[in-house]
């Protein structure tokens, strides 16, 4: 999640907490090298639960927020402890491999045979994600200048771990039971909007909402025009406000991206049942 979005949520009255994964951002480790995806999930779980144990945050509602890969982390955190979280917001989540991008089994077999030999090699072919994710040209160039953002080819082990995590999440979407809001740009070329539709359709949650934004790309909170970003942020805060008591505080945990009218496809089921 971009810092600016976290600050906006905080200014709206929500406690916001996040962390850099191992090898990401300011954290130590080989850049964007994931030896085991479960390590990321376990690190996030330990960090967030340590916050929840602080006296000032006990009894507060706890919501997950995950963008792209963070969406997969959030879903796996929910799977790890289904009753712990009060809800989640998924922005263009990585929770299923698009059929258009799914590698051939032979390719997977070859790469799997090499992963313990050359795990850190950047040999996985991929498109320029920044060009595909961030629609606004000015913001795209700002992202390119950010030295903390990985801009090289994925490492072999990392790519395989991401694939395995996606498959793990995909096969257990029906086990999702917490209230959630999932947002996706219809013109997203990084994570297919069909992924969010699959989450919405398969999840067992009673309270679930999906919003699809025509013309928007992958980086809904960091790569769109200011007008579009404000629209997305407004939808997030509105969803939260409807689920929070007027005198209750919510805590956010971030497994750490022009519309003149409201031309959005929105789907919603059920009512919020959890007590804050």
Which residues does the annotation mark as catalytic? 68, 188, 218
Residues ≥6 apart with Cβ < 8 Å to 259: 213, 215, 227, 228, 231
Q: E strand or H helix at 50, and its extent?
A: helix 37-52
How far from 106 is each of 97, 170, 175, 267, CA to CA, in Å?
17, 21, 30, 38
Q: E strand or H helix at 15, and its extent?
A: strand 15-19
Residues ≥6 apart with Cβ < 8 Å to 201: none
Task: Round to whole Å and give the CA distance between 94 and 161.
Answer: 12
């Amino acid at each position: 999640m971009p810092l600016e979005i976290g600050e906006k949520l905080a200014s709206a009255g929500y406690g916001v907490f996040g962390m850099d994964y191992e090898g990401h951002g300011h954290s130590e480790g080989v850049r964007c090298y994931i030896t085991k995806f479960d390590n990321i999930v376990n690190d996030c779980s330990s960090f967030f639960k340590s916050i929840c144990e602080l006296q000032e945050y006990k009894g507060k509602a706890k919501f997950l927020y995950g963008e792209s890969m963070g969406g997969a982390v959030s879903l796996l955190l929910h799977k790890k402890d289904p009753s712990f979280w009060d809800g989640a917001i998924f922005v263009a989540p990585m929770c299923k491999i698009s059929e258009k991008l799914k590698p051939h089994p032979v390719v997977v077999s070859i790469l799997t045979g090499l992963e313990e030999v050359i795990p850190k090699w950047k040999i996985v072919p991929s498109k320029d994600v920044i060009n595909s994710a961030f629609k606004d040209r000015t913001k795209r160039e700002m992202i390119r200048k950010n030295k903390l953002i990985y801009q090289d080819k994925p490492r072999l082990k990392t790519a395989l771990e991401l694939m395995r995590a996606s498959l793990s999440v995909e096969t257990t979407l029906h086990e999702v039971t917490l209230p959630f809001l999932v947002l996706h740009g219809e013109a997203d070329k990084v994570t297919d909007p069909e992924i969010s539709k699959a989450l919405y359709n398969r999840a067992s949650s009673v309270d679930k909402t999906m919003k699809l934004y025509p013309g928007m790309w992958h980086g809904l909170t960091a790569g769109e025009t200011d007008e579009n970003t404000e629209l997305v942020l407004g939808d997030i805060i509105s969803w939260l406000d409807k689920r929070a008591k007027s005198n209750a505080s919510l805590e956010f945990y971030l497994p750490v991206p022009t519309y003149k009218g409201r031309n959005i496809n929105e789907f919603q089921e059920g009512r919020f049942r959890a007590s804050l």
